[in-house]
Amino acid sequence: MHDYLFHIPPPDLYHFETVLRNMGYDSISGIDEAGRGPLAGPVVAAAVILNPEQPVKDVNDSKKLDKSCRERLYLEIMALAMAVGVGVVDAATIDRINILQATRQAMLLAVEALPYSPDYLMIDGITTINSSLPQQTIKKGDSLSASIAAASIIAKVTRDRIMYEYDLLYPTYGFSSHKGYGSPQHLEALQKHGPSPIHRMTFRRVKNEKSA
Protein backbone atom coordinates (compact mmCIF):
# COMPACT_ATOMS: atom_id res chain seq x y z
CA MET A 1 0.00 0.00 0.00
CA HIS A 2 2.84 2.36 0.84
CA ASP A 3 5.58 0.46 -0.98
CA TYR A 4 7.59 3.58 -1.74
CA LEU A 5 8.22 4.07 1.98
CA PHE A 6 10.06 0.78 2.30
CA HIS A 7 12.64 0.98 -0.50
CA ILE A 8 15.31 2.85 1.46
CA PRO A 9 17.04 1.04 4.34
CA PRO A 10 15.96 2.66 7.61
CA PRO A 11 18.45 4.45 9.89
CA ASP A 12 17.10 2.49 12.86
CA LEU A 13 14.75 -0.44 13.48
CA TYR A 14 11.91 1.82 14.63
CA HIS A 15 11.99 4.04 11.53
CA PHE A 16 9.12 2.38 9.64
CA GLU A 17 6.92 2.35 12.74
CA THR A 18 7.59 6.07 13.30
CA VAL A 19 6.77 6.92 9.69
CA LEU A 20 3.52 4.96 9.80
CA ARG A 21 2.48 6.51 13.11
CA ASN A 22 3.11 9.96 11.63
CA MET A 23 0.72 8.94 8.86
CA GLY A 24 -1.97 8.17 11.43
CA TYR A 25 -1.56 4.43 12.01
CA ASP A 26 -1.57 3.81 15.75
CA SER A 27 -1.58 0.00 16.05
CA ILE A 28 1.15 -1.39 13.80
CA SER A 29 1.73 -5.12 13.88
CA GLY A 30 4.92 -6.78 12.74
CA ILE A 31 4.46 -10.34 11.45
CA ASP A 32 7.02 -13.09 10.91
CA GLU A 33 7.25 -16.87 10.88
CA ALA A 34 9.55 -19.66 11.96
CA GLY A 35 9.77 -23.11 10.48
CA ARG A 36 9.25 -22.89 6.73
CA GLY A 37 12.28 -25.04 5.93
CA PRO A 38 12.28 -27.94 8.41
CA LEU A 39 11.34 -31.49 7.47
CA ALA A 40 9.18 -31.92 10.57
CA GLY A 41 6.97 -29.97 12.93
CA PRO A 42 4.69 -26.98 12.47
CA VAL A 43 5.18 -23.58 10.93
CA VAL A 44 4.65 -20.89 13.56
CA ALA A 45 3.90 -17.21 13.02
CA ALA A 46 3.70 -14.30 15.42
CA ALA A 47 2.11 -10.86 15.26
CA VAL A 48 3.48 -8.21 17.62
CA ILE A 49 2.30 -4.67 18.31
CA LEU A 50 5.11 -2.89 20.14
CA ASN A 51 4.51 -0.06 22.57
CA PRO A 52 6.21 3.10 21.26
CA GLU A 53 6.52 4.32 24.86
CA GLN A 54 8.35 1.16 25.93
CA PRO A 55 10.77 0.09 23.16
CA VAL A 56 12.44 -3.28 23.50
CA LYS A 57 16.21 -2.86 23.60
CA ASP A 58 18.43 -5.16 21.51
CA VAL A 59 15.52 -6.51 19.46
CA ASN A 60 16.77 -7.94 16.17
CA ASP A 61 16.27 -10.72 13.64
CA SER A 62 16.01 -13.91 15.70
CA LYS A 63 18.53 -15.65 13.42
CA LYS A 64 21.18 -13.15 14.53
CA LEU A 65 20.65 -13.87 18.23
CA ASP A 66 21.83 -16.77 20.36
CA LYS A 67 19.38 -18.88 22.35
CA SER A 68 19.83 -17.10 25.67
CA CYS A 69 19.34 -13.69 24.07
CA ARG A 70 16.20 -14.87 22.25
CA GLU A 71 14.76 -16.25 25.48
CA ARG A 72 15.48 -13.00 27.33
CA LEU A 73 13.96 -10.88 24.58
CA TYR A 74 10.95 -13.20 24.36
CA LEU A 75 10.14 -12.42 27.98
CA GLU A 76 10.72 -8.69 27.48
CA ILE A 77 8.51 -8.57 24.39
CA MET A 78 5.75 -10.48 26.15
CA ALA A 79 5.98 -8.04 29.07
CA LEU A 80 6.34 -4.76 27.14
CA ALA A 81 4.43 -5.22 23.88
CA MET A 82 0.92 -3.87 23.58
CA ALA A 83 -0.26 -7.14 22.02
CA VAL A 84 1.12 -10.51 20.87
CA GLY A 85 -0.62 -13.16 18.80
CA VAL A 86 0.65 -16.58 17.69
CA GLY A 87 -0.54 -18.87 14.91
CA VAL A 88 0.48 -22.52 14.49
CA VAL A 89 -0.15 -24.75 11.46
CA ASP A 90 0.77 -28.42 11.80
CA ALA A 91 2.64 -30.72 9.44
CA ALA A 92 -0.51 -32.47 8.18
CA THR A 93 -1.95 -29.13 7.03
CA ILE A 94 1.38 -28.18 5.46
CA ASP A 95 1.21 -31.40 3.44
CA ARG A 96 -2.38 -30.68 2.44
CA ILE A 97 -2.11 -27.03 1.34
CA ASN A 98 1.70 -26.60 0.82
CA ILE A 99 4.18 -24.67 2.93
CA LEU A 100 3.56 -21.24 1.36
CA GLN A 101 -0.18 -21.36 2.01
CA ALA A 102 0.39 -22.85 5.46
CA THR A 103 2.73 -19.95 6.28
CA ARG A 104 0.14 -17.42 5.12
CA GLN A 105 -2.48 -19.22 7.20
CA ALA A 106 -0.26 -19.18 10.31
CA MET A 107 0.31 -15.44 9.85
CA LEU A 108 -3.42 -14.79 9.52
CA LEU A 109 -4.08 -16.89 12.63
CA ALA A 110 -1.47 -14.84 14.51
CA VAL A 111 -3.20 -11.59 13.55
CA GLU A 112 -6.58 -13.03 14.53
CA ALA A 113 -5.11 -14.11 17.89
CA LEU A 114 -4.29 -10.50 18.81
CA PRO A 115 -6.62 -9.17 21.52
CA TYR A 116 -7.62 -6.32 19.21
CA SER A 117 -7.30 -5.59 15.52
CA PRO A 118 -4.27 -3.60 14.37
CA ASP A 119 -4.71 -0.92 11.75
CA TYR A 120 -1.56 -1.75 9.75
CA LEU A 121 0.42 -4.94 9.09
CA MET A 122 4.12 -5.14 8.24
CA ILE A 123 4.94 -8.63 7.01
CA ASP A 124 8.37 -10.15 6.62
CA GLY A 125 9.01 -11.45 3.12
CA ILE A 126 7.24 -10.88 -0.18
CA THR A 127 3.83 -12.52 0.30
CA THR A 128 0.72 -10.81 1.66
CA ILE A 129 -1.96 -12.54 3.74
CA ASN A 130 -5.71 -12.87 3.24
CA SER A 131 -6.72 -9.89 5.37
CA SER A 132 -8.57 -6.70 4.56
CA LEU A 133 -6.24 -4.75 6.86
CA PRO A 134 -3.70 -2.43 5.19
CA GLN A 135 -0.48 -4.39 4.82
CA GLN A 136 3.04 -4.08 3.48
CA THR A 137 5.54 -6.84 2.83
CA ILE A 138 9.19 -6.06 3.57
CA LYS A 139 11.91 -8.33 2.24
CA LYS A 140 14.28 -9.15 5.11
CA GLY A 141 11.97 -7.14 7.33
CA ASP A 142 13.19 -8.95 10.43
CA SER A 143 16.45 -7.03 10.03
CA LEU A 144 14.77 -3.71 9.16
CA SER A 145 11.79 -3.33 11.48
CA ALA A 146 11.65 -3.69 15.26
CA SER A 147 8.06 -4.96 15.12
CA ILE A 148 8.90 -7.69 12.61
CA ALA A 149 12.08 -8.57 14.51
CA ALA A 150 10.03 -8.94 17.69
CA ALA A 151 7.61 -11.21 15.85
CA SER A 152 10.52 -13.30 14.59
CA ILE A 153 11.71 -13.83 18.17
CA ILE A 154 8.26 -14.81 19.45
CA ALA A 155 7.74 -17.20 16.54
CA LYS A 156 11.19 -18.80 16.86
CA VAL A 157 11.07 -19.31 20.64
CA THR A 158 7.51 -20.63 20.46
CA ARG A 159 8.39 -23.11 17.73
CA ASP A 160 11.54 -24.26 19.53
CA ARG A 161 9.48 -24.98 22.63
CA ILE A 162 7.02 -27.02 20.56
CA MET A 163 9.90 -29.04 19.12
CA TYR A 164 11.25 -29.72 22.64
CA GLU A 165 7.86 -31.23 23.46
CA TYR A 166 7.94 -33.34 20.29
CA ASP A 167 11.40 -34.55 21.26
CA LEU A 168 9.84 -36.14 24.34
CA LEU A 169 7.27 -37.92 22.16
CA TYR A 170 9.70 -39.01 19.44
CA PRO A 171 13.16 -39.10 21.09
CA THR A 172 14.85 -41.11 18.33
CA TYR A 173 14.95 -38.10 15.96
CA GLY A 174 16.76 -35.52 18.11
CA PHE A 175 14.21 -32.76 17.58
CA SER A 176 15.47 -30.81 20.60
CA SER A 177 18.82 -30.23 18.88
CA HIS A 178 17.94 -29.60 15.21
CA LYS A 179 14.26 -28.51 15.59
CA GLY A 180 13.26 -30.56 12.57
CA TYR A 181 15.76 -29.12 10.10
CA GLY A 182 17.67 -31.47 7.82
CA SER A 183 20.83 -31.94 9.88
CA PRO A 184 23.01 -35.03 9.37
CA GLN A 185 21.71 -36.40 12.69
CA HIS A 186 18.11 -35.92 11.57
CA LEU A 187 18.66 -37.43 8.12
CA GLU A 188 20.40 -40.44 9.69
CA ALA A 189 17.46 -40.96 12.06
CA LEU A 190 15.01 -40.63 9.17
CA GLN A 191 16.89 -43.23 7.19
CA LYS A 192 16.98 -45.61 10.15
CA HIS A 193 13.46 -45.14 11.54
CA GLY A 194 11.44 -43.64 8.71
CA PRO A 195 9.23 -40.57 9.22
CA SER A 196 7.30 -39.83 12.41
CA PRO A 197 3.70 -38.53 12.55
CA ILE A 198 4.99 -34.93 12.64
CA HIS A 199 7.17 -35.19 9.54
CA ARG A 200 6.16 -33.30 6.41
CA MET A 201 5.49 -36.18 4.07
CA THR A 202 5.40 -34.01 0.93
CA PHE A 203 8.91 -32.68 1.49
CA ARG A 204 11.36 -34.38 -0.86
CA ARG A 205 13.86 -35.71 1.68
CA VAL A 206 11.04 -37.14 3.77
CA LYS A 207 9.32 -38.69 0.73
CA ASN A 208 12.60 -40.28 -0.29
CA GLU A 209 12.94 -42.04 3.07
CA LYS A 210 9.26 -42.97 3.17
CA SER A 211 9.48 -44.70 -0.20
CA ALA A 212 12.88 -46.29 0.45
Question: What CATH number is attached to the domain comprising 78?
Answer: 3.30.420.10
Tell me the mean pLDDT in the region 21-27.
94
Buried b (16+ CB within 10 A) or exposed e, 54-81: eebeebbbbeebeeeebeebbebbeebb
Tell me the mean pLDDT in the region 49-77.
93
Tell me the mean pLDDT in the region 14-26.
93
Q: Answer yes or no: is 107 within a domain.
A: yes
Cα separation, 125 vs 193, in Å, equals 35
Tell me the mean pLDDT in the region 100-115.
98
Cα separation, 55 vs 135, in Å, equals 22
In this predicted structure, what is the pLDDT of residue 85? 98
Question: Does residue 203 surpass a pLDDT of 80?
Answer: yes
Q: Answer yes or no: is 158 within a domain.
A: yes
Q: Answer yes or no: is 191 within a domain.
A: no
Name the domain count of the chain.
1
- pLDDT tens, position by position, 131-168: 999 999 999 999 999 999 999 999 999 999 999 999 99
Cα separation, 53 vs 190, in Å, equals 48
Q: Answer yes or no: is 55 within a domain.
A: yes
Q: Answer yes or no: is 200 within a domain.
A: no
Tell me the mean pLDDT in the region 26-52.
97
Q: What is the dihedral of CA 14, 20, 22, 25, to 10 degrees?
A: -120
Percent share of the chain, pLDDT over 90: 87
Question: Does residue 10 surpass a pLDDT of 90?
Answer: no
- With contact defined as beta carbons under 8 Å apart, do 125 and 111 qualify? no
55: domain range?
A: 3-168
- pLDDT tens, position by position, 180-191: 999 999 999 999
Q: Answer yes or no: is 49 within a domain.
A: yes
Q: Answer yes or no: is 20 within a domain.
A: yes
Q: Answer yes or no: is 89 within a domain.
A: yes
Question: Does residue 6 surpass a pLDDT of 90?
Answer: no
In this predicted structure, what is the pLDDT of residue 8? 60
Closest C-alpha to 54, from 155, 121, 152, 150: 150
